[in-house]
Amino acid sequence: MQNLSYVDENEGQAWLNFLEQLDRVEPYLGDLKENLDHLRRPKRSLIVNIPVKMDDGTVRHFEGFRVQHSITRGPGKGGVRFHPDVNLNEVMALAGWMTIKCAALNLPFGGAKGGVRVDPTTLSKNELERLTRRYTTEINLIIGPQKDIPAPDVGTTPQVMAWMMDTYSMNAGSTVTGVVTGKPVHLGGSLGRSKATGRGVFVTGLEAAQKIGLDIAHATVCVQGFGNVGAEAALLFHESGAKVIAVQDHTATLYHPEGINIPDLLAYQKQQGAIKGFDMVHDIDKNELWNIEADIFIPAALEGVISKEIAQKLQTKLILEGANGPTDPAADDVLNERGIVIVPDVICNAGGVTVSYFEWVQDLASYFWTEDEINHRMDVIMRKAIHDVWDRAQHANCSLRTAAYIVACERILLARRDRGLII
Ligand code: NAD
């Protein structure tokens, strides 16, 4: 395939990784592989200029993006990232992963992602609001409850989603809650959304543990990242009897071979803002995390943390990818050779987008479910997804990641073929 002219070799690594993942799935797609090029090109990429009047009266210009990678199976779905390193190629990759994630979970969405190249921590609340509203107006052309539905990602919050919803609604002339998800609950947000991703990590982890004969009540667990995803997953494992023996955040790496009291750590973190200084545990060097022997390892912080070298030394049976893209393709190969099971990000952390789907459905119906209903429906979808992928991996004799890509690509490419959009 001819390379896209706008793929930048310096900034395009994430997109190139996505293309490599598509190459890996190609041999398993039979006749459908003729059509895989569809996924090697984003459907629509919008670059916008966002002028913002700052509090001191000057005007600054920010670069913004919204990419709809695929809308074959439904409206685009994916977050908006406010971060100084955001670039078009990164947003394209993140949109591509959303296409795969939504299809692997069989949600009726395509994949999209957005971003603004800005450090939101340097803006006042008013500047952040003006930036968000102008960005929303600039991408207004292509978003909407039936077109493309943004959500929070790194650097964006329920408040940012509330401003996006309000700006879109002002232009539409009526309140359109279904245009974004991850809103505050009193503005059409869903119960259970904030805990959904960590809960999904736990639910898929339980299923995978059962498949490999690992008893959760006696398992040991290490968690990198103690935020929205990692803390909830750690709490659920702790409550199910597992020992969470190590927790790392950006300030400290806590270790105790008899297990850390997670509810107490959560209370401490809430008070202190981070985990450093928590009593009765060892604060070890951050690189030591990868040398700890534990049945389950949960990377739930950053992308690209498990390199080939780390993959060679990890002493674990099961990796649950709470973060997006924590494992390099080369590390993936090493872990597969060593027989370590990885529940890939596109399944493991899909609890968030699943409850976002529920939020969208509830907004469109103007009828809201209880948190128990949300959790139950999410568990059913997540369990089915991991079972489908597990069976496919057994059948095709491949990793769970490749199996997830096979399941997703088949769904997308079949939909595309039956719509008559294919050569
Ligand atoms: P968060 O900001 O709530 O928490 C991030 C955690 O990572 C914090 O505890 C932080 O201290 C820690 N961290 C940051 N830098 C670190 C470093 N250098 N070393 C160790 N720890 C570090 O973020 P989150 O919402 O929990 O997201 C975590 C990951 O999960 C990201 O990759 C995100 O894309 C992915 N994810 C999140 C959701 C969601 O619904 N929040 C959904 C899907 C995927």
pLDDT at 96 over 60: yes
* Residue whose C-alpha is closest to residue 158's, from 182, 130, 193: 182
Q: Which of 228, 266, 268 to mutate to test the pocket of ligand 1 (most atoms within 8 A of CB)?
A: 228
| Average pLDDT score over the chain | 95
Q: Which of 160, 183, 193, 249 to mutate to test the pocket of ligand 1 (most atoms within 8 A of CB)?
A: 249
Q: What is the mean pLDDT of residues 75-95?
A: 95
Q: What is the mean pLDDT of residues 346-350?
A: 97
The one catalytic residue among 33, 53, 113, 286: 113
Q: Which helix (H) or strand (E) holds 104?
A: helix 88-104
* Residue whose C-alpha is closest to residue 320's, from 337, 296, 303, 294: 296
Q: What is the mean pLDDT of residues 89-109?
A: 96
Taken in order of first residue, the domains within the chain and their CATH numbers are 12-174 (3.40.50.10860), 195-348 (3.40.50.720)
The answer to whether the CB of 349 is under 6 A from ligand 1 is yes
pLDDT of residue 14: 85
Q: What are the counts of helices (DSSP H) followed by strands (DSSP E) for the chain?
A: 13, 12
pLDDT of residue 250: 92
pLDDT of residue 420: 86
| pTM (predicted TM-score) | 0.94
pLDDT of residue 1: 56
Q: What is the mean pLDDT of residues 305-315?
A: 96
Q: Which residues have a Cβ under 8 Å from the Cβ of 170 and sit 6 or more positions away?
A: none
Q: How many CB atoms lie within 10 A of CB 404?
A: 32
pLDDT of residue 380: 96
Q: Which atom of ligand 1 is nearest to the CA of 326?
A: 32
Write out the two tokens for 372. 């128990």
The answer to whether the CB of 250 is under 6 A from ligand 1 is yes
Q: Is 308 a catalytic residue?
A: no
Q: Would you place residue 192 in the very low, low, confident or very high pLDDT band (cuts 50, 70, 90)?
A: very high
The answer to whether the CB of 71 is under 6 A from ligand 1 is no
Amino acid 374 reads: I
pLDDT of residue 2: 57
pLDDT of residue 328: 86
Please report, rounded to a whole number, the percentage of residues in the chain having pLDDT higher than 70.
99
Using an 8 Å Cβ cutoff, are 288 and 253 in contact?
yes
The answer to whether the CB of 352 is under 6 A from ligand 1 is yes
Q: What is the mean pLDDT of residues 194-217?
A: 96
